[in-house]
Homo-oligomer: A and B are copies of this chain.
Amino acid sequence: MKKTVCFGEIMYRLSPPGYTRFCQTQTLEATFGGGEANVSVSLANFGCDSVYVTKLPNNPIGDGAVNELRRYGVDVSHIARGGDRVGIYYLEKGASQRASKVVYDRKGSSISMAEKVDFDWERILTGADWFHFTGITPAISDSAANITMDACMFAKKMGLTVSCDLNYRKNLWKTDKAGEVMGALMPYTDLCIANEEDAGDVFGIHAKESDVSGGALSREGYMEVAEKLAARFGLKKVAITLRESLSASDNIWGAMYYDGSDYHFSRKYPVHIVDRVGSGDSFGAGLIYSLLEGAASCAAVEFAAAASCLQHSVEGDFNLVSVAEVMGLVKGGGSGRVQR
């Protein structure tokens, strides 16, 4: 069993039910989510020995986050406890032309106030094969950025593969700071994952011609961006997710994976969306799992794309699907016939 370690912030995800708006609701659906936690749960579902590292307060909300991760089989034994609060993200689901809306309330969370001393990376990473983080974690505070750097250095030294999902969040930092901090982390990174906008936002790397909001970036554009990313930072591998947003209800979803020599494009899936948040993370987890299992580049990107295709049909941040379900879709499924 492969062992993976993810580090980041898990938040309380509070969401009005169905398609009601914030101003209408008197109840909130309360789950947990966050980039790296989502990856961690996915990897546990896929059968990895999945460790998730963060800091959470010693109160019932912090306990709730731990319980939720544990429920899905994540190893929570390295989570530091203390600090003030669990960060929150309020999510209002969109539909048709009305976009989903996220209100962050994560300032002062325990992980944003954590210090290096909270994490003994040598111990945490012992026996692990892979370390994953996203661009959100270094963005939440300077201290979190330092801890991330720490983790990356240990991971490299201890021979782990390191992956990073750029995941630019404009409300957490500006593009120049993001470029600087993420640029310093790239040398430790083997696999860089990005969506259609991240490379541009963080590193100013654009394809020559693109119309991102329309989702009309050409195949050549994606290849160009991957190549530039790899070249600038000496990355071995780059993966880019491809989303065409027809509306908040319907998207077309696929991905490209550059393995250092070739470009592999996955099938494109027309998805009718149940819950869109965390789809990038489910792609990352699918790719990490596939590569850890020794899949060929082509198979790996198909697995990852299929996993994240399915995630669009699952409520919540977490991608609660099994390897068998993903493989079923890869092997030609998707017609959605009832499985009795």
Q: Determine if A94 and B320 form an interchain contact, defined as CB atoms under 8 angstroms apart.
A: no
Contact partner, A320, options B24, B213, B310, Cβ 8 Å: B24
Residue of B nearest to A89 (CB): B340
Residue among A21, A248, A329, A337 with most chain B CB within 10 A: A337
Contact partner, A248, options B20, B108, B269, B336, Cβ 8 Å: B336
Q: Determine if B24 and A315 form an interchain contact, defined as CB atoms under 8 angstroms apart.
A: yes
Known: A19-B315, A20-B315. A96 touches B14 (CB 8 A): no
Known: A68-B71, A70-B71, A320-B23. A103 touches B247 (CB 8 A): no
Contact partner, A334, options B17, B20, B60, B97, Cβ 8 Å: B97
In whole angstroms, what is the CA distance A276 to B107 when docked?
Answer: 31
In whole angstroms, what is the CA distance A68 to B21 when docked?
Answer: 14
Whether A126 sits at the interface, judged by CB under 8 Å, is no
**Number of A interface residues in the complex (CB < 8 A):** 88
Contact partner, A26, options B30, B213, B335, Cβ 8 Å: B30
Which residues on the B side are within 8 Å of A73 (C-beta)? Answer: 67, 70
Q: Determine if A28 and B26 form an interchain contact, defined as CB atoms under 8 angstroms apart.
A: no
Interface string of A86-105 (1 = CB under 8 A from B): 10101010111111111111
Which residues on the B side are within 8 Å of A213 (C-beta)? Answer: 332, 335, 337
Which residues on the B side are within 8 Å of A338 (C-beta)? Answer: 94, 99-102, 276-277
Q: Determine if A309 and B97 form an interchain contact, defined as CB atoms under 8 angstroms apart.
A: yes
Q: Determine if B170 and A340 form an interchain contact, defined as CB atoms under 8 angstroms apart.
A: yes
Which residues on the B side are within 8 Å of A332 (C-beta)? Answer: 213
Whether A225 sits at the interface, judged by CB under 8 Å, is no
Residue of B nearest to A316 (CB): B24
Shortest distance from the beta carbon of A189 to any chain B beta carbon, whole Å:
23
In whole angstroms, what is the CA distance A314 to B92 when docked?
Answer: 11
In whole angstroms, what is the CA distance A171 to B340 when docked?
Answer: 8
Contact partner, A321, options B98, B316, B320, Cβ 8 Å: B98
Whether A210 sits at the interface, judged by CB under 8 Å, is no
In whole angstroms, what is the CA distance A97 to B340 when docked?
Answer: 16
Q: Determine if B335 and A247 form an interchain contact, defined as CB atoms under 8 angstroms apart.
A: yes
Which residues on the B side are within 8 Å of A310 (C-beta)? Answer: 97-98
Q: Determine if B99 and A246 form an interchain contact, defined as CB atoms under 8 angstroms apart.
A: no
Q: Determine if A60 and B101 form an interchain contact, defined as CB atoms under 8 angstroms apart.
A: yes
Q: Determine if A336 and B61 form an interchain contact, defined as CB atoms under 8 angstroms apart.
A: no
In whole angstroms, what is the CA distance A26 to B13 when docked?
Answer: 10
Contact partner, A27, options B30, B64, B88, Cβ 8 Å: B30
Contact partner, A103, options B18, B61, B215, B249, Cβ 8 Å: B61
Known: A335-B213, A336-B245. A98 touches B60 (CB 8 A): no
**What are some 12 contacts across the A-B interface (CB < 8 A)?**
A22-B61, A23-B63, A23-B320, A28-B28, A60-B92, A70-B71, A94-B313, A95-B272, A96-B313, A98-B314, A100-B336, A245-B336
Given A101-B339, A102-B340, 10 extra CB contacts under 8 A: A21-B315, A23-B64, A97-B336, A98-B321, A98-B325, A99-B338, A100-B339, A213-B332, A213-B337, A214-B335
